[in-house]
């Protein structure tokens, strides 16, 4: 797309937005609220977007509605998806706004962490210790060198689905103790058990301020390039920025770090003008906040964003 | 009936008055990996006694005041258990259980820690409380039909023998001076008197039957095995069960159990059971049916959980039995080697008497002395479990009582021969066990403890054996006319005043050492001390008051006074070692060698005399020395099935046995040691679950038990009058069927609705078989009980919450069989039988909430 075409597209988009906003003019006195919900580990990221948005649009209140296994009333849904789920775009369907790597972790005090934070955990070992696999070849199973207890989510959870899918399983195949609660609770459970191992998105593994792994947790290094060895180049876990940098540098061929797509979607039916405004604003500005909260920039193209926004408008017109 | 109804109503009122504090509801559903609902899964908050069971739809509701986070445990046989760490509950939990490929997750505490039955290298059979209740197995005698390795013989509660693999207690009449070899434990409390095994179970969660010596795990008397009964615990989730059964023979049984929280840290459970049934024998002389049931039992438990790591349970129970029963019927007459005039038929002909029937299965008697087997048994216990370090420290303190007030007609006839045979007794025991079970490191688990038991058994106020007007003819040992002296023996008897004070102490421990990935070595030791003190004083009374030396001699040949005291003590050291190889969850093989001692015994039924003096050397009965070896394998041959095989050999030196004696003065028997015996056997136990709707369980045992050496055994009944002793080395031990087996199958429907309730339709049948066995310490062809088979069945509609109703029958084909044969006092030649129950049938309704 050359510059002229870009300008043309932006002009059309601007006119369209203006028209839509005028169509959905608010009645005086009506609260202008946008409700957003979704996977909880994205809330800090969303809140940062909301705070920035509020500076520019003080009349629109954006509220995060906490999500459980059933969705609350919402305008915008931020969910986690497997990368493969986005290969066939659906009109009005979700748009990827970030990627979230998911890494195996352990209680830092565990003998498992002490051993495997040095040697790393390869695909075969992960398949053996994390997953219930009745068809596994027991003779070829890798014997862990230290005791462990796996913690996983009881309810369907994007991080769990991503982690399981990366190794060829489903979330239900993950063995071990199940946590009824959120991903944050899962990490808390790991911190409480000195034999615990689990998995978590970067957003919950690293301290967003210090940029280092949260106290009490240890990352179990994975064979990031899947070559059967753990080289020094793959020891990328000192800070969250190191991980993000590695991930973004190896985008497209970093197949052995589980990662899911954080996607944005809207509820079925009419979309309010304020919702539209917030979505548009967020799509344009979220990228600069991603690294702060442990997310990786997605490869979403501007045309995909435009297409998504247009589809929202068309949904309204229906 | 009125007593039962009143007691049941009182129990219900008491239970319904339990306050139900406001609770948070935890809801969810349990499914398998295919999404199929799983009914019957146990959902529990470990350490709180708070649990529930999923409904046929897989749904569950559990109330909890537990602050988050807490652990939720979900278990179901055939599935891997799941633990859920509950941090937040906003929606119903959806829990998925994965099949384990075999029926492994029967959790037992036999090794003093919760673990899978499949993982422990001990031959063990586990019967769940609900399964036992459904099968009508509300006491040990009925339960034995589900566990062929168990034998129970009871001619009345005091004279009850509980054996495993044919070993445990003396066969026949009980002598209180020795200990049982099968430990009977309820919630960790050892019940010293075998009479406890005749009581109705009260609110039982499960029954673990451990075969073989368990001295390094249990505090007391487990040389042959252990009955480890766990009752249902108080729960912080309000729930309850009410059950009412009616059947033929006037059978009425009521059971109830209610549990709930009292406050944040206390929960309680009250349980009640009452059973009444008409008699199964008709006494033509007294125009009444005897051998009825009249049992009541209550249990109350208070659970206090002041902290996460401490659990205190205070329990009290009381059982009362007032049966008009335990009568035996003359089963046959043997011609002995005594002169013709001393044969039973000649005696009764002289007395112008006829038995009411020569066929014992006519179930007719004419006993003139009323039968009575009143007993009260109960106690209190305090159990403290403290999670300490990497294990649990357990303290169990208990005090128990047993009041026994019997009346027997031990001549088994309508004649006034042995007119009174009564041994009222009072027994008290207190016990203290302190045990630690925990992990030393990643490769070592340990169980260790100390155990103290103090017992006091005394006559209340005395035991009585009294002759009636016809006794002279049974006792007549020569043709002298003096025997016919009017009133010579009428009312002549003995009163025995005795006390037994027993103290036992033991230190025991077992290590479980994991060697490599697959091997476990489990050495264990036991140091045991036992002391028994007896004060025995037997006095004659009544009969003809005479100075005639010849008449006095006759009287003294029947009964004589006797006094002795004895004080025996023994310290023994024993141990065992087990090596197990657990190749996978599908194969667990083990080999065990164990030694053990059954405590020193004392003769508490009188001593045989020599030259008119008691043979004091026979007062002490040496400890049994048990050497036991076994190899076993627990396997999963195909998915959903288990097959376990055990081969064992137990050798016992100084086997404690009852020696029958024709002297009335030793109450027909005294204790002695046989030189050695051996029991060898093979046990095959399996289960199979097909498509979650058909459950099959099967047990087969082959046991060969023999006296290796017993040169001076008492002669059998038919040899009475000949040589008093007989070498029975190589002969079979009593009470052991060479073959025994059981087969149970239950077919249940998918979840279905009836009367607005969700549940399963089911049909179940049990078949039990045992081959013939000797019913006499010294084998006699006349005292062989024929083999028999029993069929029990039931069918109905069952829910886990709500109303269940089913019909049942026991001994469906009304098989006539003897449970035991006993020689009548004085060895006149007749013997009696304990008859098995005829066919019974009825209906049971159960309501759970």
**Looking at chain A, how many residues does it have?**
318
pLDDT of A255: 55
Question: Within 13 Å, how many C-alpha atoms sit on residue B144's CB side?
Answer: 22
B87 touching chain A per CB within 8 A = yes
Mutation pick from B45, B46, B85 vs chain A, by most beta carbons of A within 10 Å, is B85
Q: What is the CA radius of gyration of chain B?
A: 27
- Set of chain A residues whose Cβ sits within 8 Å of the Cβ of B93: 154, 180
Token duo for residue A207: 């301290």
Which A-chain residues 284-313 have CB contacts (< 8 A) with chain B? none
B96 touching chain A per CB within 8 A = yes
Quote helix, strand, coil % in chain A, to nearest 5: 45, 20, 35
- Set of chain B residues whose Cβ sits within 8 Å of the Cβ of A185: 69, 85, 87-88
Query: Strand B59-64's sheet: what is its strand order?
Result: B59-64, B24-32, B93-97
A189 touching chain B per CB within 8 A = yes
- Picking from A69, A134, A177, the nearest residue to B83 by CB comes out as A177
- Set of chain A residues whose Cβ sits within 8 Å of the Cβ of B75: none
- Picking from A147, A177, A180, the nearest residue to B89 by CB comes out as A180
pLDDT of B304: 92
Which residues, in sequence order, are bridge partners of residue B707?
Answer: B677
Smallest CA–CA distance from A144 into chain B, residue:
B517
Indicate if the alpha-carbon torsion angle A202, A207, A211, A215 is positive or negative: negative
CA distance B517 to chain A (A): 10
- Residue pLDDT, tens place only, B346-384: 999 999 999 999 999 999 999 999 999 999 999 999 999
Contact B69 A132 (CB under 8 A): no
CA distance B152 to chain A (A): 44
pLDDT of B394: 93
Three-state SS for B607?
coil
Are B622 and B654 in contact, with CB atoms under 8 Å apart? Answer: yes
Token duo for residue B48: 């709180």
- Set of chain B residues whose Cβ sits within 8 Å of the Cβ of A70: 91
- Set of chain A residues whose Cβ sits within 8 Å of the Cβ of B83: 177-178
Neighbours of B441 (CB within 10 A): 9
pLDDT of A127: 87
Contact A179 B90 (CB under 8 A): no
Mutation pick from A143, A169, A180 vs chain B, by most beta carbons of B within 10 Å, is A180
Mutation pick from A112, A154, A194 vs chain B, by most beta carbons of B within 10 Å, is A154
- Picking from A143, A175, A177, the nearest residue to B85 by CB comes out as A177
Contact A189 B85 (CB under 8 A): yes
- Set of chain A residues whose Cβ sits within 8 Å of the Cβ of B89: 180
CA distance B98 to chain A (A): 8
Quick check: pTM over 0.80?
no
Beta-strand runs (E) in B147-236 = 150-154, 160-164, 182-186, 189-190, 204-211, 225-231
pLDDT tens, per residue, chain A with 318 residues: 455 555 455 444 544 444 444 444 444 456 689 999 989 999 999 999 999 999 999 999 999 988 766 677 889 999 999 877 766 666 667 888 999 999 999 999 999 999 998 888 888 889 889 987 655 555 556 778 888 999 999 988 999 999 999 988 889 889 889 999 889 999 999 999 989 999 999 999 999 899 999 999 999 998 887 777 777 777 889 999 999 988 888 765 555 789 999 999 888 888 888 999 999 999 989 988 899 999 998 877 777 788 888 887 776 544
CA A33 to chain centre: 25
Three-state SS for B556?
helix
Query: Whose CA is closest to A205, among A181, A183, A231?
Result: A183
Angstrom distance (rounded) from CA A158 to CA A186: 13
- Picking from B33, B88, B99, the nearest residue to A180 by CB comes out as B88
For residue A269, which phi and psi values (nearest 5 degrees)?
100, -170
Q: Cβ contacts of residue B259 below 8 Å, gap of 6+?
A: B18, B49, B232, B233, B234, B235, B237, B238, B239, B240, B267, B268, B269, B270
Angstrom distance (rounded) from CA A198 to CA A104: 6
Indicate if the alpha-carbon torsion angle B476, B477, B482, B487 is positive or negative: negative
pLDDT of B660: 59
Token duo for residue A296: 């990786």
CA distance B808 to chain A (A): 40
For residue B2, which phi and psi values (nearest 5 degrees)?
-65, -35
A70 touching chain B per CB within 8 A = yes
- Set of chain B residues whose Cβ sits within 8 Å of the Cβ of A128: none
Contact A188 B87 (CB under 8 A): yes
- Which DSSP string do the residues of B171-190 spell out, in sequence order? SSS--TTS--SEEEEETTEE
- Picking from B88, B517, B584, the nearest residue to A185 by CB comes out as B88
Q: Are strands B757-770 and B752-754 parallel, antiparallel or unpaired?
A: antiparallel
- Residue pLDDT, tens place only, A251-305: 655 557 899 999 998 888 888 889 999 999 999 899 888 999 999 988 777 777 8
pLDDT of A20: 45
B514 touching chain A per CB within 8 A = no
Contact B33 A147 (CB under 8 A): no
CA distance A34 to chain B (A): 23
pLDDT of B469: 94
Smallest CA–CA distance from A111 into chain B, residue:
B442
CA distance B644 to chain A (A): 23
- Sites in chain B below the pLDDT cut of 50: 1, 11, 13-22, 102-105
Indicate if the alpha-carbon torsion angle B651, B653, B656, B658 is positive or negative: positive
B80 touching chain A per CB within 8 A = yes
Mutation pick from B31, B87, B439 vs chain A, by most beta carbons of A within 10 Å, is B87
Angstrom distance (rounded) from CA B115 to CA B108: 6
> Would you tell me the crossing angle of helices A3-23 and A302-317 to the nearest 10 degrees?
30
Contact A180 B93 (CB under 8 A): yes
Are B269 and B258 in contact, with CB atoms under 8 Å apart? Answer: yes
**Looking at chain B, how many residues does it have?**
849
- Picking from A70, A147, A172, the nearest residue to B442 by CB comes out as A147
Neighbours of B179 (CB within 10 A): 27
A181 touching chain B per CB within 8 A = yes
A138 touching chain B per CB within 8 A = yes
Contact B98 A182 (CB under 8 A): no
CA distance B239 to chain A (A): 24
pLDDT of A305: 81
Smallest CA–CA distance from A131 into chain B, residue:
B98
Contact B98 A132 (CB under 8 A): yes
**Helices and strands in chain B: count of H runs, count of E runs:** 6, 55
pLDDT of B16: 45
Angstrom distance (rounded) from CA B421 to CA B406: 8
Contact B84 A188 (CB under 8 A): no
Three-state SS for B95?
strand
- Set of chain A residues whose Cβ sits within 8 Å of the Cβ of B442: 147
Angstrom distance (rounded) from CA B640 to CA B295: 40
Angstrom distance (rounded) from CA B476 to CA B479: 7
- Picking from A132, A154, A182, the nearest residue to B93 by CB comes out as A154
Angstrom distance (rounded) from CA B384 to CA B433: 11
What are the CA-CA distances from residue B32 to residues B61, B94, B372, B799 (Å)? 18, 10, 54, 19
Three-state SS for B672?
strand
Smallest CA–CA distance from B88 into chain A, residue:
A181
Question: What element of type H or E holds B815?
Answer: none
Angstrom distance (rounded) from CA B573 to CA A146: 38
How many A×B Cβ pairs under 8 Å?
63
- Picking from A147, A178, A188, the nearest residue to B84 by CB comes out as A178
Q: Provide the terminal-to-terminal Cα distance of chain B, rounded to the nearest Å.
A: 26
Which residues, in sequence order, are bridge partners of residue B427?
Answer: B402, B457
Angstrom distance (rounded) from CA B820 to CA B834: 5
């Amino acid at each position: 797309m050359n510059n002229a075409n870009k300008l043309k597209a932006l002009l059309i988009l601007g006119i369209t937005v203006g028209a839509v906003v005028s169509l959905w003019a608010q009645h005086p006195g009506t609260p202008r609220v946008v409700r957003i919900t979704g996977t909880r580990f994205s809330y800090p990221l969303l809140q940062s977007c909301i705070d920035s948005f509020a500076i520019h649009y003080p009349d629109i209140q954006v509220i995060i509605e906490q999500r459980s296994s059933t969705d609350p009333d919402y305008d915008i849904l931020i969910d986690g998806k497997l990368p493969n789920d986005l290969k066939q775009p659906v009109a009005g369907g979700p748009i990827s706004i970030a990627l979230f790597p998911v890494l195996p972790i352990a209680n830092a005090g565990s003998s498992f962490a002490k051993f495997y934070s040095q040697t790393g955990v390869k695909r075969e070992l992960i398949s053996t210790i994390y997953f219930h696999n009745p068809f596994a070849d027991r003779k070829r199973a890798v014997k862990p060198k230290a005791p462990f207890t796996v913690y996983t989510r009881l309810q369907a959870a994007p991080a769990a689905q991503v982690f399981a899918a990366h190794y060829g399983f489903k979330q239900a195949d993950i063995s071990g103790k199940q946590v009824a609660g959120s991903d944050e609770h899962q990490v808390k459970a790991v911190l409480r058990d000195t034999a615990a191992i689990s998995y978590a998105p970067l957003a919950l593994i690293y301290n967003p301020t210090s940029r280092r792994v949260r106290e009490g947790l240890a990352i179990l290094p994975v064979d990031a390039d899947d070559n059967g060895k753990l080289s020094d180049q793959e020891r990328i876990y000192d800070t969250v920025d190191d991980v993000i940098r590695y991930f973004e540098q190896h985008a497209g061929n970093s197949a052995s770090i589980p990662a899911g797509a954080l996607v944005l979607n809207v509820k079925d039916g009419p979309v309010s003008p304020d919702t539209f405004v917030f979505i548009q604003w967020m799509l344009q500005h979220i990228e600069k906040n991603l690294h702060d909260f442990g997310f990786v920039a997605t490869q979403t193209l501007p045309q995909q964003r435009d297409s998504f926004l247009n589809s929202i408008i068309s949904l309204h017109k229906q | 009936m009125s007593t039962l109804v009143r007691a049941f109503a009182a129990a219900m009122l008491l239970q319904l008055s339990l306050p139900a504090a406001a609770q948070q509801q935890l809801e969810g559903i349990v499914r398998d990996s295919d999404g199929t609902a799983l009914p019957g899964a146990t959902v529990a908050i470990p350490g709180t006694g708070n649990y529930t069971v999923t409904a046929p739809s897989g749904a569950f509701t559990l109330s909890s005041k537990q602050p988050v986070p807490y652990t939720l445990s979900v278990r179901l046989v055939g599935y891997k258990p799941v633990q859920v760490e509950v941090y937040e509950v906003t929606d119903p939990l959806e829990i998925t259980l994965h099949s384990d490929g075999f029926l492994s997750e029967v959790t037992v505490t036999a090794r003093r820690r919760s673990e899978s039955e499949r993982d422990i290298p001990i031959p063990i059979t586990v019967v769940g409380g609900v399964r036992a209740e459904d099968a009508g197995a509300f006491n040990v005698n009925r339960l034995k039909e589900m566990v062929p390795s168990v034998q129970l013989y009871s001619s009345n509660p005091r004279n009850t023998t509980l054996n495993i693999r044919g070993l445990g207690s003396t066969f026949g009449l009980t002598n209180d001076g020795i200990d049982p070899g099968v430990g009977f434990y309820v919630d960790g409390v050892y019940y010293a008197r075998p009479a406890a095994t005749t009581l109705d179970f009260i609110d039982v969660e499960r029954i673990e039957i451990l075969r073989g010596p368990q001295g390094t795990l249990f505090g007391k008397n487990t040389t042959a095995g252990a009955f480890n009964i766990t009752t249902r615990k108080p729960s912080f989730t309000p729930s309850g069960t009410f059950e009412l059964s009616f059947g033929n023979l006037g059978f009425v049984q009521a059971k109830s159990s209610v549990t709930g929280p009292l406050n944040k840290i206390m929960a309680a459970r009250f349980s009640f059971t009452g059973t009444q049934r008409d008699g199964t024998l008709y006494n033509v002389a007294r125009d009444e049916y005897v051998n009825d049931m009249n049992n009541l039992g209550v249990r109350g438990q208070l659970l206090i959980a002041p902290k996460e790591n401490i659990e205190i349970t205070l329990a009290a129970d009381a059982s009362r039995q007032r049966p008009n029963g335990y009568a035996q019927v003359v089963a046959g007459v043997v011609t002995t080697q005594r002169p013709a005039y001393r044969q039973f038929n000649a005696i009764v002909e002289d007395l112008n008497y006829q038995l009411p029937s020569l066929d014992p299965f006519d179930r007719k008697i004419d006993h003139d002395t009323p039968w009575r087997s009143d007993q009260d048994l109960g106690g209190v216990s305090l159990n403290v479990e403290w999670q300490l370090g990497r294990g649990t420290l357990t303290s169990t303190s208990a005090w128990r009582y047993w009041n026994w007030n019997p009346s027997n007609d031990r001549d088994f006839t309508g004649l006034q021969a042995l007119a009174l045979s009564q041994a009222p007794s009072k027994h008290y025991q207190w016990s203290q066990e302190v045990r630690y079970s925990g992990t030393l490191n990643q490769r070592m688990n340990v169980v260790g403890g100390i155990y103290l038991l103090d017992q006091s058994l005394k006559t209340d106020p005395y035991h009585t054996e009294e002759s009636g007007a016809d006794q002279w003819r049974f006792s007549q040992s020569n043709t002298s006319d003096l025997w016919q002296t009017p009133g010579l023996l009428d009312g002549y008897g003995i009163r025995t005043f005795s006390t037994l004070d027993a103290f036992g102490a033991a230190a025991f421990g077992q290590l479980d050492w994991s060697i490599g990935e697959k091997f476990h070595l489990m050495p264990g030791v036991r140091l045991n001390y036992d002391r028994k003190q007896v004060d025995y004083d037997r006095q004659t009374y009544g009969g003809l008051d005479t100075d005639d030396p010849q008449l006095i001699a006759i009287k003294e040949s029947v009964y004589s006074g006797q006094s002795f005291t004895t004080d025996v003590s023994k310290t023994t050291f024993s141990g065992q070692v087990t090596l197990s190889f657990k190749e996978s969850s599908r194969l667990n093989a083990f080999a065990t060698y164990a030694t053990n001692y059954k405590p020193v015994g004392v003769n508490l039924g009188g001593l045989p005399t020599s030259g008119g003096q008691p043979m004091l050397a026979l007062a002490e009965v040496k400890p049994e020395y048990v050497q036991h070896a076994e190899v076993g394998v627990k396997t999963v041959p195909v998915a959903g099935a288990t097959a376990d095989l055990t081969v064992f050999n137990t050798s016992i030196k100084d086997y404690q046995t009852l020696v029958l004696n024709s002297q009335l003065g030793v109450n027909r028997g005294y204790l002695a040691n046989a030189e050695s015996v051996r029991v060898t056997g093979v046990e095959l136990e399996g289960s199979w679950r097909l498509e979650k709707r058909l459950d099959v369980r099967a047990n087969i045992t082959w046991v060969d038990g023999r006296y290796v050496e017993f040169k001076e055994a008492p002669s059998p009944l038919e040899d009475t009058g000949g040589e008093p002793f007989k070498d029975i080395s190589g002969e079979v031990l009593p009470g052991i069927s060479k073959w025994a087996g059981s087969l149970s199958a239950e077919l249940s429907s998918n979840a279905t609705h009836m009367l607005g309730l969700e549940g399963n339709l089911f049909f179940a049948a049990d078949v039990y078989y045992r081959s013939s066995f000797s019913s006499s310490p010294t084998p006699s062809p006349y005292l062989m009980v024929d083999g028999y088979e029993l069929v029990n069945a039931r069918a109905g509609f069952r829910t886990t919450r709500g109303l269940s109703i089913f019909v049942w029958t026991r001994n469906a084909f009304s098989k006539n069989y003897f449970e035991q044969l006993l020689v009548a006092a004085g060895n006149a030649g007749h013997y009696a039988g304990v008859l098995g129950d005829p066919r019974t049938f009825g209906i049971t309704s159960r309501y759970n909430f």
